[in-house]
């Protein structure tokens, strides 16, 4: 078998006993690339009778070769425990028949499970409406594949009901105007509504405001600081003035008294 770019699918989607439908879909993708998908659906051919034509022998030998390759892919795409159950079977039709009897989930159960998820899915307040819309669209496509029979209006109603209360104005406007849109158009409208309703203010305005306030605070601090410096300078000037010499007044008094004492007549 040539190098198949899809074989990596089986590495991440191995059959584990609970994912038969997904596993079979991935297996068909791989086999269709190699033109070997017919081995899954066609019964085991009968042994060639004597006198078979060359064309019959070529066809039979090709089936045997493709059966061998497909069997290897199937076994490689299983977990080890399940692989042991089918390792004894040599032909692909026998393997697929047994797996279908054991692991196939009834379509009714699948349909019920998918519808339950679709009707119960709700968008969280503040989350992306685009992501929610894509998720709901994916569920709708799966329900369409299962042919559940729901019409477009029902899908639209369920999607609108899955929105949080902040989208009530949009829902009222949509219903009052009697709009009829496809699911893709509805999702685009919701994305536009989210963009126009919840857009935030430019960050540069907040930056300019805070800068102005900061400048005002800086000027105020500078003025107060400048005033304090003036007060300090005035105080320093007063403190730096030369003080009167200690004892100067006292010496004048003492000198005056001594002068008077000297004026007393020594002859009296």
Q: Parse the chain into domains and list their residue ranges.
A: 8-103, 107-197
pLDDT of residue 227: 52
Q: Mean pLDDT over all residues of the chain?
A: 78
Q: What is the C-alpha separation between 197 and 190, in angstroms, rounded?
A: 10
Question: pLDDT grade, residue 4 (50/70/90)?
Answer: low
Q: What is the C-alpha separation between 14 and 22, in angstroms, rounded?
A: 10
**SS3 label, residue 15:** strand
pLDDT of residue 3: 60
DSSP character at residue 165: G
- Nearest alpha-carbon partner for 135 in 121, 154, 148: 121
pLDDT of residue 151: 93
Percent of the chain with pLDDT over 70: 71
Q: Give the number of other CB atoms < 10 A from CB of residue 8.
A: 10
Is the pLDDT assigned to residue 201 strictly greater than 80? no
223 vs 105, higher pLDDT: 105
Residue range 181-201: mean pLDDT, rounded: 86
Is the pLDDT assigned to residue 211 strictly greater than 60? no
pLDDT of residue 5: 66
* Cβ-count burial 126-161 (b if 16+ within 10 Å, e if not): eeebeebbeebbebbebbeeeeeeeeeeebbebbbe
Residue range 68-94: mean pLDDT, rounded: 92
Is the pLDDT assigned to residue 176 strictly greater than 80? yes
Is the pLDDT assigned to residue 157 strictly greater than 90? yes
Instruction: Find out whether 69 and 36 touch, Cβ atoms under 8 Å.
Output: yes
Instruction: Find out whether 65 and 56 touch, Cβ atoms under 8 Å.
Output: no
* Residue 147, φ and ψ in degrees, nearest 5: 55, 55
Q: What is the C-alpha separation between 8 and 77, in angstroms, rounded?
A: 10
Residue range 261-268: mean pLDDT, rounded: 47
Percent of the chain with pLDDT over 90: 42
Q: What is the C-alpha separation between 240 and 253, in angstroms, rounded?
A: 29
Centroid of chain to Cα 152: 29
List 78's β-bridge partners, or say none: 15
Length of the chain equals 268
pLDDT of residue 89: 92
Residue range 30-50: mean pLDDT, rounded: 85
Centroid of chain to Cα 53: 62
Instruction: Give the Å distances, CA to CA, from 8 to 14, 73, 249.
Output: 10, 11, 113
- 96 contact partners, CB below 8 Å, separation of at least 6: 40
Q: Give the number of other CB atoms < 10 A from CB of residue 249.
A: 10
Least confident stretch, 58-62, 112-116, 127-131, 214-218: 214-218
Instruction: Find out whether 70 and 1 touch, Cβ atoms under 8 Å.
Output: no
Q: What is the C-alpha separation between 97 and 42, in angstroms, rounded?
A: 11
Q: What is the C-alpha separation between 188 and 175, in angstroms, rounded?
A: 16
Least confident stretch, 19-23, 156-160, 183-187: 19-23
Residue range 42-53: mean pLDDT, rounded: 81
Is the pLDDT assigned to residue 263 strictly greater than 70? no
Is the pLDDT assigned to residue 100 strictly greater than 70? yes
* Residue 53, φ and ψ in degrees, nearest 5: -75, 165
């Amino acid at each position: 078998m040539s190098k198949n770019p899809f074989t990596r699918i089986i590495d991440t989607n191995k059959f584990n006993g609970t994912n038969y439908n997904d596993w079979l879909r991935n297996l068909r993708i791989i086999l269709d690339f190699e033109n070997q998908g017919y081995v899954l659906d066609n019964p085991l051919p009968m042994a060639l009778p004597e006198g078979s034509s060359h064309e019959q022998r070529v066809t039979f030998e090709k089936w045997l070769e493709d059966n061998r390759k497909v069997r290897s892919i199937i076994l490689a795409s299983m977990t080890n425990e399940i692989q042991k159950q089918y390792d004894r079977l040599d032909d692909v039709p026998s393997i697929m028949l047994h797996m279908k009897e054991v692991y196939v989930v009834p379509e009714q159960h699948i349909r019920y499970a998918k519808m339950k998820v679709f009707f119960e899915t709700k968008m969280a307040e503040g989350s992306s409406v685009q992501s929610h819309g894509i998720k709901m669209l994916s569920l709708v496509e799966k329900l369409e594949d299962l042919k559940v029979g729901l019409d477009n209006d029902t899908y639209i109603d369920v999607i609108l009901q899955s929105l949080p209360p902040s989208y009530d104005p949009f829902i009222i406007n949509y219903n009052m105007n009697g709009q009829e849109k496809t699911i893709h158009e509805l999702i685009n409208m919701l994305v536009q509504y989210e963009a126009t309703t919840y857009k935030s203010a430019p960050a540069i305005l907040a930056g300019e405001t805070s800068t102005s306030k900061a400048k005002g605070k800086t000027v105020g601090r500078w003025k107060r600081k400048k005033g304090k410096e003036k007060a300090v300078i005035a105080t320093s000037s007063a403190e730096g003035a030369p003080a009167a010499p200690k004892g100067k007044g006292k010496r004048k008094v003492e000198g005056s008294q001594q002068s008077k004492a000297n004026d007393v007549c020594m002859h009296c």
